[in-house]
A and B are shown apart, each in its own frame.
Chain A
């Protein structure tokens, strides 16, 4: 059996991601992007890509580099590819954002910024997908959580491919001019593959295993898990293939999305039921803050599903799509990620610091690296702010939205400080902090 070691750069991915999240929140607070601008405006695209690539994709990549080897009990295919991938993703996003700003007339920039940025991002994601894909490939047949990750990796390829095509259209190149319809029909596919397939589906898979681990629950009901996986794959396949056919006017986009939406709801219902089962059969009665907050994030996902279905039924989906996307990105994904970082950062820090001396000298517990009471107020503020912001978008109150996002940003800053304190072992009693043989970890890089 091969042991799993620490991914050297996972912590660096987390740090870069949090900086992007704070930047995006700051821009929203000052009234940049939707709802102060049009939902398709370049300003909105800046925010959307800061959140979806800078924050969510970067943090997810870091987490996957650490946890895919745990899921499949295999070492990462190429640890040395992780840092170049981070550099490509970060640089690519900066160039892409500059392209959007030029498109919106905020800066003077050449038209090739968008395709170059997209190309760098595609190269970065290709490194990530190849690395994780080869790791998964070496571990066939895959356990269930890893199959969710495999589905997510397929979706990031679709997302990136469409993003690359859009960059050609938006920058006014000759190749892009052949695809005038692409932006109309392609954007829903790009968003579905990115938010639904890559981010949500992957997060579902990883959270399965982490929730079971940290609640001391037996693995979930295999039938429900398989149903959640296969219904999700069907939803993504119907949405993507139907959407692509709609590009050639062979099917209606709405029909494809209605079928995909139904399958997605079935997948979510099976997943939610299974997580509830984990919660009921857990051996650890008192739940830690990270698990409680993951469950709160899950209620946001359920709310998105219910609100989305209600909006579709009443024909108001297109006017509320911004609010739903915000709730999905912040209430569910950002909430889930922050909750899990609150466990992952101290856990990795603990392992790095005390692993070498474990069993030989008394060491603090992982719980001694955190102060849950202090952190819980930041989580309360975070979720209250996210839900209020969603409500403000629903009732079309831009100023209220900005105030609510300001609260979310304060909460994010508070949680960032908690992560830094854990990394620096600030909350560990001084007598126990660094026993002989243990070395204090660096803030941004792990020793492995």
Chain B
């Protein structure tokens, strides 16, 4: 049986904070074989990739009120590992976005075109933030092909998707 260390990021997010470093710090403290149980106000999809790249499989369960409990456990090979992508590197904080885009009212695939066009004009290491009406599933492929990194997830109200992309340094 996997022992779980609990991390509740709901108060941090409600206070407008950034829980990423706290999750990573908790991860550093895990003993071999231990897992991490995370409570979040929304499904932290981008985190799954980060955790997968560190050898953790996950099981997500929705709680009352749209909140989520996610158990990350050391992947012993029983769960198929997702393909490696360049998503969301864990290295430190990214610079403030140089460009903000609100693409919520654009017809698909226009949001994707604008994001890629804006990225072409950014210098290496700069970031862009975009609001979208949906998860841009076809965009991620293009981002990883071009070597960009990204973090993203639905806003707590679930009415839009917040994406931050960093141009390959």
Contact = CB atoms under 8 A, between A and B. Distances in A.
Interface string B92-125: 0000000000001101111011011111100000
Contacts of A358: 112-113, 116-117, 142
Interface residues of B, number: 41
Contact of A284 (B80, B107, B113, B159): B107
A216 B137 contact: no
Contacts of A213: 108, 134
A162 B94 CA distance: 58
Contact of A1 (B118, B140, B159): B140
A3 B113 CA distance: 16
Contacts of B142: 3, 355, 358
B60 A141 contact: yes
A366 interface: yes
Given A1-B49, A141-B60, A73 B144 contact: no
A218 interface: yes
Nearest to A134: B80
A335 B8 CA distance: 49
B137 A350 contact: no
Interface in B118-144: 118-120, 133-135, 137-144
Contact of B133 (A216, A347, A359): A216
A351 interface: yes
User: Per DSSP, are chain A's interface residues mostly helix, strand or loop, or mixed?
Assistant: loop
A214 interface: yes
B61 interface: yes
B140 A283 contact: no
A223 interface: no
Contact of B140 (A2, A138, A351): A2
Nearest to B139: A3
Interface string B41-81: 00001101100000000001110000000000000000010
Nearest to B109: A366
A4 interface: yes
B141 A3 contact: yes
Contacts of A365: 110
A283 B113 CA distance: 19
Interface in A346-382: 347, 350-351, 355-356, 358-360, 363, 365-366
A283 B107 CA distance: 10
Contact of B117 (A73, A214, A351, A359): A359
Nearest to A212: B134
A214 B108 contact: yes
B169 interface: no
A223 to B, nearest CB: 14
Given A218-B133, A358-B117, 11 more contacts: A1-B45, A1-B48, A1-B137, A3-B85, A3-B143, A141-B61, A216-B105, A216-B107, A283-B104, A284-B107, A351-B109
Closest 9 CB pairs of A and B: A359-B116, A3-B140, A3-B141, A359-B117, A4-B137, A358-B116, A359-B120, A70-B137, A5-B141
12 contacts: A1-B48, A1-B49, A2-B49, A4-B137, A4-B140, A141-B60, A141-B62, A213-B108, A213-B134, A358-B112, A359-B115, A359-B120
